[in-house]
Structure 1
C-alpha cells in the first residue's frame, strides 16, 4: 500500500537553476521512496556530474526524469497539482494547505498521479505557475527567515506523504486535470452564452471553478454529469436567444 501510493507522487521542479540542488532533491526523494521527477524548462545547462555528486545512489531518478517545456504540459495527466509556496497575494490561491492536510487529501484517492510543484531557488513559483496548479501548500516557518532550501522543502513534503502512506488510503478515483480543464471550459462558455459576463471578469471565474472541481476529486461519472448539466444550460440559452 505504501509503495503504490508513493508511486503516484510526482515532484515537479519549475526552471531549477542549480545542478547540485537537483541532485539533492533526487536524494531527498529516494530517502522517502518517491521516484517520479519532472523538470520544467531548458535543462541544457545542467551538469550531470554535479547532480551525481549530490544524488549519489539516487542518480537514476534524474536519469529517468521527464522534461517538459511548460508546467501545463507537466501537469496535464495528473489528478492533483499542489504549488508549494509561502507567498500569498491577489493573484495566488485563496486557500493554502499545510503539508499534512495536503497529504490527507491525496490519500483519500486510490488512483492518478499527484504533482507537488516547486519553483526555482531564487524566486519560487510565479503567479502564472501557481495558477496552473489546482491548490497551494505552504510550510510554516520562522517569520524572520521563512524560506527553505529547495531540497529541504522537497524532503519535508516527501516525508509527510511517506508517513501518510503508512496510515492507509481512500477509494476515490478522480479524473485527470485534462478532463477538469475541459469541464471548466464548458462552464465558462455556458456563462458567456447566458450573459453572465456583463463586464471584464476580474475574478477569473473559470479558474475558480477549475480549482473547486479539482479539489473535489471528481469521479468520471460525476464529471460527465456536470458536463451534461452545463451543456444543457448552454443549449437552453441558445434556444432562448433564438426564440426572441
Structure 2
C-alpha cells in the first residue's frame, strides 16, 4: 500500500456563506495534516477576524488559500475530483463512502492531484457542480437528519484521509516518560496494602482473606502501574492510616512505618 501525499489533496469549499465556517473548516483540515484550501466564490472574506478566530490557529491554511470565481478554475489543476454530498442525485456517477478512499487513492498514482468539493452550508452542491466530479463521496448519516455542518463534513473526510497513513488502533499516542513498575515494586505495594487492610479490619472474616486479596491483586494487575503510581499509592495508604491526627502522634507514625515496611528488619528485603 502506497503512502499518500497530502500536499496533492486540496479541499475545495464551493460558495461558503459564513466566514466562521471557512475558519473552522481550515482548523479541521490542519488537525489532520491537510493544508491546501481552495475557495470558490465565498460570500464573506475568508481572512476576516471571525474566520481567523474560528480557525483557532490554522491561520496558515487561510492565508495560503486560493480564491476562484468558478469551479472550472478551482479544479483545473486536479486530475481526480470528489463531490461530497449526501443527497441522491439523478445522474449516473459512481458513489463511494469515506472508508473507500484508501482503495481509491491506492488505485491512483501517488502524484495525482486530488480535489474534494464541499457545497454551501444551506443547500450543498448543485447538480451542475456535482457534474464536474469524477465520484460522489457520501458520508453515512441519519436519513432523517442528514445535514452536516461544513466543518464537520470536512473533519470527517480529513480524518479518513489521515487514517490511511496513521494507525488509529494504536494505543501509544500519549506515551509518557514514566517507567513501568517492576513486579517487586508492585508486590511490595500489595503486601503493604494487605498489612494495612489487616490492621483496619477489612480482611474479614479470616477464611475469606485469601480470596479477597486475589481479587484485589487482579484489580491492580489490570492497571499497568508505573513507578510513580506505586509510590503514590503507598503514600496514600500511609496517610490514611495516620488520619486524622497520626501525623502528629509518634506512636502512630512508628506503627504505620512498620505496616509500610513489614516486620523484616533487613531493608534490602523489605516488601
TM bin (shorter chain): 0.5 to 0.7
Aligned in 2, Cα 1:57/1:93: closer, same or farther, shift over 3 Å?
farther
Question: Does the 8 Å contact 1:96/1:138 carry over to 2?
Answer: yes
SS at 1:34's partner residue? coil
Do the aligned residues in 1 keep the contact of 2:83 with 2:117 (CA within 8 Å)?
Answer: yes
Matched, 1:26 2:14: no
CA contact (8 A) 1:6 1:165 kept: no
Partner of 1:126: 126
| Residues in 1 aligned to 2:44 and 2:143: alpha-carbon distance in whole angstroms | 36
Q: Distance in 2 between matches of 1:128 and 1:87?
A: 14
Query: What is aligned with 1:5?
Result: 5
RMSD, matched Cα: 2.1
1:78 partner SS: coil
Distance 2:2 2:51 in 1: 27
Q: Which has the larger radius of gyration?
A: 2
Q: 1:2 to 1:60 in 2, by over 3 A?
A: farther
How big is the shift at 1:43? 5.3
1:89 equivalent to 2:51? Answer no
Q: Distance in 2 between matches of 1:75 and 1:7?
A: 15
Residue 105 of structure 2 corresponds to which residue in structure 1? 106
Deviation at 1:76, TM superposition (A): 1.2
1:117-196 aligned within 5 A: 117-166=117-166
Q: How big is each residue's C-alpha offset from its partner over 1:217-242, in whole Å with a ceiling of 9 and x where there is no partner?
A: xxxxxxxxxxxxxxxxxxxxxxxxxx
Structure 2: unaligned runs, 5 residues or longer: 168-271
8 Å contact kept, 1:24–1:54: yes
Match of 2:225 in 1: none
1:2 positional shift: 9.3
Q: What is the Cα deviation at residue 4 of structure 1? A: 5.7
1:58 to partner: Cα distance: 0.3
Partner of 1:132, secondary structure, is coil
Tell me how far apart the structure 1 counterparts of residues 156 and 162 of structure 2 sit (CA, whole Å).
10
Extract unaligned runs of 5+ from structure 1.
168-244
Aligned to 1:39: 39
Partner of 1:191: none
Deviation at 1:112, TM superposition (A): 2.0
TM-score by length of 1: 0.63
Contact kept? 1:78, 1:112, Cα under 8 Å: yes
CA distance in structure 2 between the aligned counterparts of 1:112 and 1:151, rounded to whole angstroms: 25
Name the stretch that deviates more: 71-80 or 97-106: 97-106
2:82, 2:136 within 8 Å by CA — same for their partners in 1? yes
**1:9, CA displacement in angstroms?**
1.0
Q: Deviations over 1:61-110 (max 9, x none)?
A: 011001111101111111110000011132x4432100121332113321
Question: What is the Cα deviation at residue 3 of structure 1?
Answer: 8.3
The alignment of Structure 1 onto Structure 2 pairs a total of residues equal to: 166
Q: Is the 8 A contact 1:81 1:133 kept in 2?
A: yes
- Residues 153 and 42 of structure 1: CA distance in aligned 2, closer, same or farther (over 3 Å): closer
Q: Deviations over 1:184-224 (max 9, x none)?
A: xxxxxxxxxxxxxxxxxxxxxxxxxxxxxxxxxxxxxxxxx
